[in-house]
Amino acid sequence: MTTARIVLLPGDGIGPEIVSVGQSVLEVVAQRFDHEFSFETGIIGGCAIDQSGTPLPEETLAACCSSDAILLGAVGGPKWDDPSAATRPEQGLLTLRKELGLFANLRPISAHPQLVDASPLKREIIEGVDILFVRELTGGIYFGESGRRESSGGEAAFSEMVYQQDEIERVVRLAAEAARGRSGKLTSVDKANVLEVSRLWRQVAERVVREEYADLEYDVVLVDAMAMHLISRPTDFDVVVTGNMFGDILTDEGSMLPGSLGLLPSASLGESGPGLYEPIHGSAPDIAGQGIANPLATVLAAAMLLRHSLGLETEAVAVEAAVAGVLDAGHRTADIAAGGPAIGTAEMGQLVLDALAG
């Protein structure tokens, strides 16, 4: 039996609607597999700014730090969008990631066979896609020195991309471990033909794999080539590890492959401590409160939580199978219904719970 403390951070917009489905799924998993999960709910993002003046109140951070895992909805919305505002919802998320040392972002991209025709790509390209992106999250160009200076050509600006050996080692190890649990194939993406920082990345990644993961099938791809391969032969990749900015761009490109934002989860993990699990979509303010949001990305994020933070692989697979079963049976929320008949958030959630309860 596993005992776990899970913090729920519904956030803004559709967040509360979809996180409540995620919680129900975890409760049914606990019941069916005889675990004990306790839940605590915290505020983050815009609603936290409204209630406490800050997007990440101390109580929320403290609850997260002492938890085993965190399930988040989404933050943000038009109410808090003023770029000149002193504090913004996404600062809550960035601070949380930083405080918890979440250095790796995992994004599985897989094409559900029933939804292949929703993809902007041809069926024969997308069928069978199953990629796990591992993006370094706390280093690289987004965290390097930046500034402006005078130059002979007028004002100049710079943003420095720095990676330390240990930052590369830990994310490559995490990706290599994930590859061992999948098909044993790992691809590292860099720009080593141009950037010194990428030459270090390549050198360190190759050494880690050679010394510790020689059983893996390993290759390296330049980021510009990867941008092409991702839409021309995405089924050739399994686990892909890359730096912060390259990962930012490639995962957004990758998220278009399956054709539905509402089905894609993500996990942010650190060396130890709780992981943060969330759908990749935002707070969808245009449909908030209408009961029509697709809860499946959050349900699949809950499956990742079971797998990566609680080590409950069988339970994670059961949740994923329940989602696949519901899609197989033809049930669709509006975002994936292609104009056909659609069900609401609660109904979709209930179908997953029924499938899971067996």
- Active-site positions? 142, 191, 224, 248, 252
**Binding string to ligand NAD for residues 326 to 355, with x set by CB under 6 A, is what?**
---------x--------------------
Q: Among 16, 42, 57, 77, indicate the residue that binds ligand NAD (CB under 6 A).
A: 77
Contact 274, 64 (CB under 8 A): yes
Task: Please identify, using beta-carbon distances, which residue of 109 and 293 lies nearer to ligand NAD.
Answer: 293
Determine the interface stretch with ligand NAD among 53-61, 74-82, 144-152, 225-233 (rule: CB under 6 A): 74-82
Q: Which of 240, 163, 237, 239 is nearest to 203 (CA)?
A: 163
Q: Which of residues 245-284 bind ligand NAD (CB under 6 A)?
A: 261-262, 278, 281-284
Token output for 230: 């991702």
Q: Which of 13, 16, 73 is nearest to 46 (CA)?
A: 13
Query: Rounded distance, CA 20 to CA 283, Å?
Result: 14
Residue 287 binds to ligand NAD (criterion: CB under 6 A): yes
Q: Minimum distance between the CB of residue 236 and ligand NAD, rounded to whole angstroms?
A: 28
**Binding string to ligand NAD for residues 197 to 236, with x set by CB under 6 A, is what?**
----------------------------------------
Task: Please identify, using beta-carbon distances, which residue of 191 and 281 lies nearer to ligand NAD.
Answer: 281
Determine the interface stretch with ligand NAD among 22-30, 96-104, 222-230, 287-295 (rule: CB under 6 A): 287-295
Token output for 118: 């929703």
> Dihedral through CA 304, CA 29, CA 181, CA 207, nearest 10?
40
Determine the interface stretch with ligand NAD among 73-81, 107-115, 166-174, 248-256 (rule: CB under 6 A): 73-81
Q: Among 59, 166, 271, 286, indicate the residue that binds ligand NAD (CB under 6 A).
A: 286
Task: Please identify, using beta-carbon distances, which residue of 278 and 315 lies nearer to ligand NAD.
Answer: 278
Q: Minimum distance between the CB of residue 44 and ligand NAD, rounded to whole angstroms?
A: 9
**Binding string to ligand NAD for residues 92 to 111, with x set by CB under 6 A, is what?**
-x------------------
Q: Minimum distance between the CB of residue 74 and ligand NAD, rounded to whole angstroms?
A: 4
Contact 258, 111 (CB under 8 A): yes
**Binding string to ligand NAD for residues 296 to 325, with x set by CB under 6 A, is what?**
-x----------------------------
Q: Minimum distance between the CB of residue 2 and ligand NAD, rounded to whole angstroms?
A: 27
Q: Minimum distance between the CB of residue 306 and ligand NAD, rounded to whole angstroms?
A: 20
Determine the interface stretch with ligand NAD among 70-78, 188-196, 208-216, 269-277 (rule: CB under 6 A): 70-78
Contact 2, 62 (CB under 8 A): no
Q: Among 20, 251, 294, 309, indicate the residue that binds ligand NAD (CB under 6 A).
A: 294
Using CB under 6 A as the criterion, which residues of the chain lie in contact with ligand NAD when the complex forms? 14, 74-77, 93, 261-262, 278, 281-287, 293-294, 297, 335
